[in-house]
Amino acid sequence: MKGFAPILIAVMLLAAVPLITSSNVVLNFMVMALLIALVGQGWNLLGGYGGQYSFGHAAFFGTGAYVTGILQMRYGVNAWAGFIIGIAAGALVGAVVGALSFRSGLKGSYFALVTLAFAEVLRIVASVAPITGAGVGTLIKLDLRPEAFQFQSRAPFYWIVLGMVGVSLILTRIIEDSRFGAYLVAVRENEDAARALGVDATIVKLCAMTISAAITAATGCFYAQYYLFIDAGIAYGPWISIEGLLAPIIGGIGTVFGPLLGALVVKTLGELTKLVTGGAPGLDLVIYGSVLIVVVAFAPRGIAGIFVDLRRRLSGTRGRSRD
């Protein structure tokens, strides 16, 4: 339980936000930050712990969003059931992409490009397929009832996505301390050496890819229910892949809290940039890129790494003072 205490404390502190303010602006900002944190946690599991950098997590995000939306609007499936099916569909796409990539021996930049290609192919298909609404997109009917996964205020949405982030944090902590997590790190550090020690690297990477895709698909399902609209550009666009990998890299790649810290920083910078510049197109990406360069150059382990270093220095200073 000691390892989960920081997670529980962080979740409880964040859960108090709607009790402090009822501002829709603040709650919407926090919901989007937590959404990015959730995508970042999915990417972090595969890229941070497994060393498999993906540029196409939009493929899983969009699949979850479209499946839950289409099931509701075309087949009358309950929103909560559609949410679960959407997560399963995203996990299935992740398993398929992973099986095709890893069994072909793709890694590094080749794997990154393949994931990007899959996301782009799905975007093109979704933009012309009648079942997705083609260029018009899919609009979910407004039905302000909890059983329809819709609420009168943003607070319930906030608590739900916070709960999802909390579950992802706990899951990451469990994996980090498990044998599977050790295998994953071993594959990241030296795949050939891990294979020599009897680790089935392909299965390990495939499991990580499937779990990562499921977490990302859950984000897409929530996005569709929150905004009640999805189209090809939103679902499979590069924006979610970019922010999903920026969050853990800035926050601390391969750490439990890195994606959450990074997401809060990324969204805060984005909003401040829009406030100062009046929303000049593309300038937020310039800011993100600049921050990424600074982090890589001066804090390669991200914000979480800075906190760890400070804690070690403080512990060392206290130890010397006692001596």
Residue with tokens 């382990």: 301
Residues 6+ apart with CB under 8 A from 44: 172, 248, 253, 254, 255, 258, 259
**pLDDT exceeds 90 at position 121:** yes
pLDDT digits (tens, 9 = 90+) for 92-101: 999 999 999 9
Residues 6+ apart with CB under 8 A from 19: none
Contact 41, 259 (CB under 8 A): yes
pLDDT digits (tens, 9 = 90+) for 129-166: 999 998 899 999 999 999 999 998 999 999 999 999 99
**pLDDT exceeds 60 at position 251:** yes
Q: Which of 53, 52, 59 is nearest to 119 (CA)?
A: 59
- Rounded CA-CA distance 196/180 in Å is 16
pLDDT digits (tens, 9 = 90+) for 263-313: 998 888 878 777 776 666 667 667 767 777 877 777 777 887 777 777 777
Query: What mean pLDDT comes out for the span 168-175?
Result: 95
Q: Which of 245, 87, 305, 259 is nearest to 165 (CA)?
A: 259
